Structure 1
Amino acid sequence: MTAHQSRGAQLLKINDVELCVETFGDRANPAIMLVAGAAASMLWWDAELCEQIAARGRFVVRYDHRDTGRSTCYPPGQPAYSFTDLTLDVLGIQDALGIERGHVVCQSMFGGLGLLLGVDHPDRVASLTFVSSSTGADDLPPPAGDLAMPAEPEASDTAAVVEYVVAGARAYAGGSPYFDEAAIRALVERDVARATSYAATLVNHYAIEFDSPARGGFGEIAAPTLVVHGDHDPLLPLPHGEALRDAIPGAQLLVLKGAGHDLPRPVWDDFMSALLPHTEGGRP
C-alpha cells in the first residue's frame, strides 16, 4: 500500500463534527464521493464494490453520515442539522482529502444532497449520479402498497432492531430475484454493532429539515448527470427515475433490470459499465 492508497476508516473533524471516512485507491485518480441514503452508514456502499471501482482507476470515498456509524450522533429525535449541513459535510470531506471537484454519487432521499451540490456548488462537482432517487413531484406514483413495516423496535433490543432493518431491506428489494437475505443480515449486524447510536440512526434523518437550493432546481444542474434506477423499486417506482432524468438537462437513465431500491451484487457490472465512463474527467 502506497501513501496515496486507502488507509482504512478514519475520523475527520469536519464542520465541528466528527465524520468517519474511508477511501479506496489512488487519490491521484478522479474522485468518486459515495453518499449513502437516509439512515444508511458507509457500510451500505459495499467495500468490495468500492474496491472494484477503485481498481478501475478511481479514488473512491465512502463515509458515515451524521447519526450513522461512527460519526457524530445527536439525541434520538433531535437532529441539530439540515440537508444544507449534510451537503457541506460532503464538501468538507472533499476539502480534507484535497479533492477540488468530486464525482458525486448519491442514493435515495439523499439525492437531495446531490441537488444542493449541483445547483449551489457547481464548481465542486465534476458529475452527478442519482441512484434510486426522485424529484419528489406530487404527481409521481406512491410506494407500492405491500411496503407495510413492523412496528419500530426498542433500540436497546439488538436482535429486534436487526430483524426490523432486514425486514425493511427485504421490502425495499421489491421482490427482486437478487435479494440476498443472508448477506443483508450480516451487513445489518455489523452496522448495528459499530454504530455510536443506532437509536439515532433509526429516526434522525427522517426528522431533518429539507432545504431547497438557493439558485434554482433540477433544471439548473449543469454537471453531467446519470440517473440509475431499479425496475423493481417499490419505494420509488421507476417513473421517479424517469422524471429525474427528464428534469435535468442532458441526463441519462440506466435502468437496472431486476433491482429494487438497492444495488445488489448481480447488477454491479451494469452499474460500473455506466459509472466509469461517466466519471472519467474532472480534476481530483
Structure 2
Amino acid sequence: MVTETMMPVNGIEVCLETFGERTDPPLLLLAGEASSMDWWDDEFCRRLAAGGRFVIRYDHRDTGRSTPFPPGAAYSGVDLMNDALGVLDALGVPAAHLVGLSLGGALAQRIAVAHPHRVLTLTLIATSAGLGPDATPVLAGVGAVAVRAPAATEVRVRAAADEVDWSDRRAAVAGLIAEVKARGGPFTPDDPHLRRLAERVFDRSADLGTARLNHRRAGYGPPVRDRLPGISAPTLILHGTLDQRFPEEHPRELARMIPGSRLVWLEGVGHEVPPRAVWAQVLTEILRRPGASR
C-alpha cells in the first residue's frame, strides 16, 4: 500500500509517501539537489518494501508538493537535514536506515555525525565527503564541501541548465532529460521513460527554477568531513564507475574516512539514481543484513 500525505515539518509542509508495512524497519530515501521524491522510482520503492522495509520518500522543501520558497530564500543545508529528521519525527520513527543520493548522501552523512542515534545503517550513493584542505571548492551548490575541479562534461551540464527556461513545461522537460542523459551512462533510461518522469516532476513542482537556485545557494551545509571517522553506523557506499561529477577519488575518500564502510562500484553507472539495470545489485546491497558476509 502506498500513501501520500502532507505533514507539518519544521514550520513548513512536507509531502511524503510510504511503501510497505509500518511494522518493518524504516528506510528513509533522501533525494539529490533540487530533486523531488519522484526520482526514486515507484517500483524501486516497492521492491525495497518487499525486502522487509517500511520505505519513506519525501519532497525536499522547494520541490514537488512541499512548501515552495521565493527566489533567494535563506535556508541552508542544515535546514534540509532537519527536514529529513522532521519527516521521521512526523511519522513517529526514532531511527531509520538512511539511503541518500548526491546531496541526499551529504545530508545523510550530517545526520550520522550529528544525530547518530537516528541512524540504523547508512547508504551513500553518488556523493562526496569533500577531499580535505588542499582541494578547491569550485562546484556551485556544494557549499563548504571542498571538491576538485569538475570534469568538462559537468561544466557543460551546468552551463546548459542555466540556459533553460524552467517555467516553460516543454523546455523544462527537455532540460531535465538532457541533464540526466549527460550525467548518465549506457543504462540510463530511454527518452520515453525520462519524458514521463520529467513531466511528472514538472507537474508536481511549484517552480523548478527557483528550487534549483535556492538549493544551490543552500549547499550541503558546514563541512563534516573531519567527523566522519566517528560514524558508527554500518555504512555502504555505492558509486558509479562513470560518475563525472564525483570521480572515483570521492567514494574512495569516503571509504577511507568512515570506519568499516564498504565501497561497491556500479559498473556503467554515471551520476544518477541507480538505473533498473543495476537494481538487483543495489537492492541486494541495501537490504543485506549489516555485518553479513559477501
TM-based fold match above 0.5: yes
Where relative contact order (Cα < 8 A, 6+ residues apart) is larger, the structure is 1
- What corresponds to 1:161 in structure 2? 172
Distance 2:223 2:7 in 1: 26
* Long gaps (5+) in structure 1: none
| 2:73 corresponds to which of 73, 79, 95 | 79
Paired residue type of 2:64: G
Task: State the Cα deviation string for residues 15-70 of structure 1 (Å, max 9, x = none).
Answer: 10000000000011111100000011000011110001101111000000001000
Task: State the Cα deviation string for residues 200-225 of structure 1 (Å, max 9, x = none).
Answer: 22321101154336895211211111
CA positional deviation for 1:191: 0.4
Distance 1:260 1:75 in 2: 32
- What corresponds to 2:199 in structure 1? 189
What SS does the aligned partner of 2:124 have?
A: strand
CA positional deviation for 1:199: 2.6
| 2:47 corresponds to which of 22, 46, 52 | 52
What SS does the aligned partner of 2:237 have?
A: strand
Residue 106 (structure 2) pairs with residue 95 (structure 1): no
The 5 Å alignment of 1:130-279 reads 130-137=124-131, 138=135, 142-147=149-154, 148-149=156-157, 150=160, 151-173=162-184, 175-212=185-222, 217-262=227-272, 263-278=274-289
Contact in 1 for aligned 2:60/2:80 (Cα 8 Å): yes
Note closer, same or farther for the CA distance 1:198–1:209 as it changes in structure 2 (3 Å cut): closer
Paired residue type of 1:30: P
Matched residue count: 274
What SS does the aligned partner of 2:283 have?
A: helix
CA positional deviation for 1:184: 1.4
The 5 Å alignment of 1:16-55 reads 16-55=11-50
CA positional deviation for 1:278: 4.5
Distance 2:173 2:117 in 1: 40
CA positional deviation for 1:13: 0.5
Using the size of structure 2 for normalisation, the TM-score is 0.87
Contact in 2 for aligned 1:69/1:194 (Cα 8 Å): yes
Paired residue type of 1:44: W
Paired residue type of 2:45: C
RMSD: 2.1
- What corresponds to 1:111 in structure 2? 105
